[in-house]
A and B are shown apart, each in its own frame.
Chain A
Amino acid sequence: MSDDLPWELPDELLIDTEMARRIIVAFIGGHMQQTGFGRAVLGLSGGIDSALVAYLTAAAIKPENLLCLMLPYRTSSPASRADAEEVVAALGCPSRVVEITPIVDGYFEAALAGGEERAEPSRLRLGNFAARARMAVLYDQSAAWDGLVMGTSNKTESLLGYTTIFGDNAAALQPIGDLYKSQVRQLSAAVGVPEAILRKPPTADLWAGQTDEHEVGLSYAEIDRLLYSLVDLRRTSDELVEMGFAAANVERVVALVAGSEFKRQVAPVAKLSPRTPGVDYLYPRRRPRGG
């Protein structure tokens, strides 16, 4: 790991990377065995989250069993594509490019042409639709490739609600969903994710120049320290301010977490019968059939 990587790793968030790697690889391998799948599909964006999941999945099931899909939209950065290609080359896994531009533009253009829509969609709608188009392609390829869809959500974006529901958060497994972004960076450096990916600013690549940190207005190191104290250590807002976090930042992050609770849970079922799936009909995801 280079000493001069352009981000800070907060001390209280530092993980034992070998332990984390071992647990996640065992987690992926265990679920593959229990579900009867030997293969996986993954949307590779060129960013650090999906690159890390690619490395961990390849370690669990061998690279030839991992299909990496690059799913660019017309505004996606060519640099992202090059970085994704570098991961594919380094791991030696099969890959495929599926342009989602015709899917996304086809939908919105038809709405405009038919008069149902009068203006171009907002960046939010476009971004969410693109995320769901990628999900649709991934799940179709899951059937074609006979592989589980690997999720790439991290704990920071999940807690902030910085995800598209049924879009980028749709997956069979979430291997890095309990790692904050800072920990994703630490682990990525440890498992050998290419330097170019480690160095670039995190972006959802929804439009040119967009970065996560600019949107939230805080560095990931600050956000992660705040979230860790709030969520994992159960500190109150007042205690966070006493610790030195700016009150406005605490308020903003607390509101983002509370406002996105619905994205982290399954939809409620209206309770009518004696036993209701998801309420009081509770079984492991996979269990022996019959008997």
Chain B
Amino acid sequence: MDVSQVIAARDATCVGAAAEESIETGMPVEIPPAPTLDLTHDT
């Protein structure tokens, strides 16, 4: 699995979490950027 797929999994989780928060509050929710990772990381 390359780094981009890991980040994609992270982003999907964040969309779900943000969506639940949005449902609760009735407001749009911003998704923070992923932490800066060493993209040369060998997966």
Asked if chains A and B come from one complex, the reply is no
